[in-house]
Amino acid sequence: MKRIRVGVIGVGHLGRHHLRLLKGLEAECEVTGVADPSEKARAQAVSDHGVVAFADYRDLLSRVDAVTVVVPTKNHLEVAGCFLDAGIDVLVEKPIAPTAHEGQQLVDRARAKQCILQVGHVERFNPVLNGIAEIGRKARYIESHRLAPFSFRSTDIGVVLDLMIHDLDLVLALVQSRIVSVDAFGGAVFTPAEDMASAVIKFENGAVAHLTANRVALKPLRKMRVFSPEGYVSLDFHAAQGLVVRKQPGWDLTKLDVEGIDRTQVGDLYKYVFQGLLKLEEYKLDEGNPLRAELIAFLQCVADRTEPLVRGEDGVAAVAAAEQVVAAIAKNRWQ
């Protein structure tokens, strides 16, 4: 099969990882060039990977079948739109655009040219999410905490579009229901936009999500918990650990002989609960490389002309939810 000619637009902090991983997929693709306005970033890419580098991304238009766009969010419409208009498939990093309106323009332009448009919500490629899909669809309460030290990156957007967008996308993918209300609080610490935010989101099917994001924390933290009538999920993305607790078949609390258990014997109680009544599964979240899996999936979509796991429409939905959170914060913003 002919290898896909691919380019990387933006080879800064994250784009360097795109380039490194794509160079390792030589059976699937050929990196025919990169583009970045920074001379230093271009020189590093050439030195590390021997690629052809351009200052102007438009110089790649005739050299590629597909690109990954890893530029500041404010430039997504201009850069990704340029390639889509030329009939070139695009993986654009999250968020798809700074506004849902601009994101929808990219979706429309991709549809007009019958291009693949995938959005880089990399958490969706964590294999453990497949194992909790059923619990997630029946979720009644989801809570997440996503904290990061201040990095001086992505300062053109607030923490909602920078960090919370990951969890907004995950929650929308799990719950699969329409948002009916959003209440949120947040404020600026180091940047003009909000640097911390907390939101309570209610869905039409009765689910509730409580999301917290903070990019001025001392230590990173990425945790999510999902509660449903089917069980309980605890995910620690930073520690790469996951735990799923489900009820065993035939669970009926009214028929349990609770009084017959010697609760002073902790070992016996644990065995009774977790071997007889509940099923406990532990997951390692670092099996594989989610970014590599995301890039492989994009290349597969380009080759097969199939729909991406994270479509442009999904990216727009996440940004639309983020806009609701930001609007709620504006009503409650501290002075």
Model pLDDT for residues 179-233, shown as the tens digit of each residue: 999 999 998 888 888 999 999 999 999 999 999 999 999 999 999 999 998 888 8
Cis peptide before 95, with omega less than 30 degrees from 0?
yes
- Please tell me which residue, 286 or 227, carries the higher pLDDT value: 227
Mean pLDDT of the chain: 89
For residue 243, the model assigns a pLDDT of: 85
Question: What is the C-alpha separation between 35 and 83, in angstroms, rounded?
Answer: 13
User: 237 or 72, which is more confident?
Assistant: 72
Contact 84, 94 (CB under 8 A): no
Name residues whose C-beta falls within 8 Å of residue 23's C-beta, 6 or more positions apart in sequence: 31, 49, 51
Pick from 179, 174, 284, 186: which is nearest to 225 by CA? Answer: 174
Residue-wise burial string across 107-119, b where 16 or more C-beta atoms lie within 10 A, e elsewhere: bebbeeeebbbbb
With beta carbons less than 8 A apart as the criterion, state whether 81 and 61 touch. Answer: no
What percent of the chain is modeled with pLDDT above 70? Answer: 88
Q: Which residue has the tokens 């160079």?
A: 23
Quote the CA–CA distance of 55 and 40 in Å, as a whole number: 11
pLDDT at 198: 97
pLDDT, tens digit (0-9, with 9 covering 90-100), for 88-126 = 999 999 999 999 999 999 999 999 999 999 999 998 987
* For residues 268-283, average pLDDT: 65
Domains of the chain as residue ranges with CATH: 4-120+290-309 (3.40.50.720), 245-284 (no CATH)
The mean pLDDT value for 24-40 works out to 96
User: Residue 131: pLDDT above 90?
Assistant: no
* Predicted pLDDT at 162: 92
63-96 as b/e: b if 16+ CB within 10 A: ebbbbbbbbbbebbbebbbbbbeeebbbbbbbbb
Tell me the pLDDT tens digit for each residue of 298-318: 999 999 999 999 999 999 999
* Alpha carbon distance 63, 121 (integer Å): 26
